[in-house]
Structure 1
Amino acid sequence: MAVGKVDIHIDDTAALPRFAALNAQWIEDLHFLEESDKLMVAQPEIYIRNGNHVISAHIDGQVAGAVALKKHDDGRYELTKMAVDTDFRGHGIGQKLMTATEDFAKNTMGLSYLFLLSNTRNEAALRLYARNGWTVNHEGPHPVYARANIGMEKHL
């Protein structure tokens, strides 16, 4: 399937239900929904409140993928909940989301650092992060998230 023009939206409330559904799908495919995931599904709007942001990629009006920037109590931001619709995988949507998110974080938010948590089973995601200059800063069990066994960071 050829994909059309990709439009990037920031904090588009209409994209939030799809953001939650896409993330719930991949999480359930590889792992299980943890409490924070269940909250995301029930209340996706929390991902655009209190300094949080959702960046979504749209093709012909359809949400093809999305990612969030989540503000932590210490002021650091986490790149989290990145998902691309299975119908649009293999067309560079993840890369477009990564580029748009890093640009937004650096140029609009004024951030110089991001971190993320992932799982070594998410091989395609880890390849994307590595291609974009993210480096591993943690390996092994995470104290909060059962599925997270690798952490990465990037200085923007």
Structure 2
Amino acid sequence: MIDIVNYLPKHAIAFKELNEAWINQYFEMEESDRKMLDDPQGYILDKGGAIIIAEMDGATVGTCALIKMKDKTYELAKMAVSPEVQGKKIGWKIGIATIEKAKELGADTIYLETNSVLKPAINLYRRLGFKDTDGYCSPYARCNVQMELKL
């Protein structure tokens, strides 16, 4: 059974470890990653964002953050699912919950950045309704795909 819950301080270590794992597998940690993962409370939550957590049998197995950008635009960031449970639709469940949370926060646009090597993630984002876009300024060297969802 997968439970989708709001982030609590007890999730901080898992939020960091799950995201460091995929970033280090495909890329290198960047300064923006470190700031967000070292202080999710200050970097995300205190600025009006949110973090969604997927739990299975009490363990944190997935994460996704919403970072308030400007006005009614939020960035979907740091979506991660533990490799041990990938293929169980956890990313889909987190994605749907994150979109619902964005609506609750008053968002009219969700924006994300990714990389073309992350094909399963891009496919998931497209199934969730995201469309390719460009023109956003990215703090990440690895970003070569930008997508957005109009709510």
TM-score, scaled relative to structure 1:
0.89
CA distance in structure 2 between the partners assigned to 1:53 and 1:41 by the alignment: 13
Identity, in percent, stands at 36
**1:71-90 correspondence to structure 2 within 5 Å:** 71-73=68-70, 75-90=72-87
Name whichever of 78-87 and 6-15 sits farther off: 6-15
Could you tell me which runs of 5 or more consecutive residues in structure 1 were left unpaired when the two chains were aligned.
none
Q: What is the CA-CA distance between 1:49 and the residue it aligns to?
A: 1.7
What is the root-mean-square deviation in Å for CA atoms of aligned residues? Answer: 1.8
Change (3 A) 1:34 1:100: same
From 47, 51, 70, give the equivalent of 1:50: 47
Q: What is the CA-CA distance between 1:33 and the residue it aligns to?
A: 0.3
CA contact (8 A) 2:67 2:74 kept: yes
From 142, 147, 150, give the equivalent of 1:152: 147
Name whichever of 48-57 and 90-99 sits farther off: 48-57
TM-score, scaled relative to structure 2:
0.92
Q: What is the CA-CA distance between 1:11 and the residue it aligns to?
A: 2.6
What is the match of residue 64 of structure 1?
61
What is the match of residue 112 of structure 2?
116
Q: What is the CA-CA distance between 1:143 and the residue it aligns to?
A: 4.9
What is the match of residue 99 of structure 1?
96
Could you tell me which runs of 5 or more consecutive residues in structure 2 were left unpaired when the two chains were aligned.
none
SS of the equivalent of 1:121 reads coil
Q: What is the CA-CA distance between 1:72 and the residue it aligns to?
A: 1.7
CA contact (8 A) 1:66 1:97 kept: yes
Q: What is the CA-CA distance between 1:91 and the residue it aligns to?
A: 0.3
CA distance in structure 1 between the partners assigned to 2:40 and 2:138 by the alignment: 24
Q: What is the CA-CA distance between 1:73 and the residue it aligns to?
A: 4.5
